[in-house]
Amino acid sequence: MKDKVIAIDELSNIVKDSMTIMVSGFMGCGSPHKIIEKLVELDVKHLTLICNDTGLPQYGVGHMVANKQFDCIIASHIGLNREAVRQLNSNETKFELIPQGTIAERIRCCGAGLGGVLTPTGIGTVVAEGKDIIEVDGQQYLLEKPLKADVAIIGAGVVDKRGNVCYNGSTRNFGPVMATAADIVIVEAAQIVEIGEIKPENVVTPHIFVDYIIDGGR
């Protein structure tokens, strides 16, 4: 089987201009910080971002926001990043703000092969504008469609060389679901271990979802 562990410089062959990219993390916690730094250096442009939030101005995906690498940002919260708010107010970047649970489910239904998800969240709000409302047993739901990416970059804890992933603390957030919904999945491991060192019952993201592993060296 091919070696999934790659040097960080190889990102230039994988992440290209105009791609849609999912980035794990919640206000930067659980984001792949080294990969983000490298993508800032590579200066890939015109990306579409799918992420819970825009991080902080100098933490997490906020670095890429500050470097103006996104044409479109799909997120649930941007309020802790003044630069993102500025880009929204000046119409420099297109934003789609969607509820956090809805982002999670839209990604999940893509990865799970479903055509969409019905959620009560957003009924009677601006979130419902332009969306189909479907009634099930007298209750109204919004039809929310799948979200897919070309590449997902995910912050991980311990990863074995086959690509089995464990997450530390509250870093797990969007990592496991994003790993199911992108053509190419790259994990940044805080620690890389030999195959077999992670007990199978402790694996959170199974190796079949992971294409590349980058040493985050924490």
CB of 102 to other proteins, least distance (A): 7
Residue 191 near other proteins by CB under 8 A: no
DSSP E strands in 111-163: the ranges are: 117-119, 133-136, 139-144, 149-160
Helix (H, G, I), strand (E, B) or coil at 207: helix
Residue 63 near other proteins by CB under 8 A: no
User: Judged by CB under 8 A, which of 89, 90, 91, 202 binds other proteins?
Assistant: 89
Residue 108 near other proteins by CB under 8 A: yes
User: Can you tell me the distance from the alpha carbon of 162 to that of 23, in angstroms, rounded to the nearest whole number?
Assistant: 21
Please name the amino acid found at residue 7. A
Q: 196: how many CB neighbours lie within 10 A of its CB?
A: 11
CB of 9 to other proteins, least distance (A): 25
User: Can you tell me the distance from the alpha carbon of 156 to that of 190, in angstroms, rounded to the nearest whole number?
Assistant: 6
Give the number of residues in contact with other proteins, rule: CB under 8 A.
49
Structure-token pair, residue 40:
């800032």
- Of 157 and 163, CB closest to other proteins: 157
Q: Please check whether residue 194 is in contact with residue 160, taking contact to mean a CB–CB distance below 8 angstroms.
A: yes
Q: Please check whether residue 207 is in contact with residue 185, taking contact to mean a CB–CB distance below 8 angstroms.
A: no
User: Can you tell me the distance from the alpha carbon of 176 to that of 194, in angstroms, rounded to the nearest whole number?
Assistant: 21
CB of 82 to other proteins, least distance (A): 11
- Of 13 and 89, CB closest to other proteins: 89
User: Can you tell me the distance from the alpha carbon of 155 to that of 189, in angstroms, rounded to the nearest whole number?
Assistant: 7
Using the contact rule CB under 8 A, the part of the chain among 43-51, 115-123, 181-189, 207-215 near other proteins is 115-123
Residue 203 near other proteins by CB under 8 A: no
Using the contact rule CB under 8 A, the part of the chain among 9-17, 34-42, 75-83, 131-139 near other proteins is 75-83
Letters for 148-177 (x = contact with other proteins by CB under 8 A, - = none) are ---------x---------xxxxxxxxxxx
By DSSP bridging, strand 70-75 and strand 117-119 are: unpaired
- Positions that interact with other proteins (CB under 8 A): 26-30, 52-53, 56, 75-80, 85, 88-89, 97-105, 108, 119-127, 157, 167-177, 204
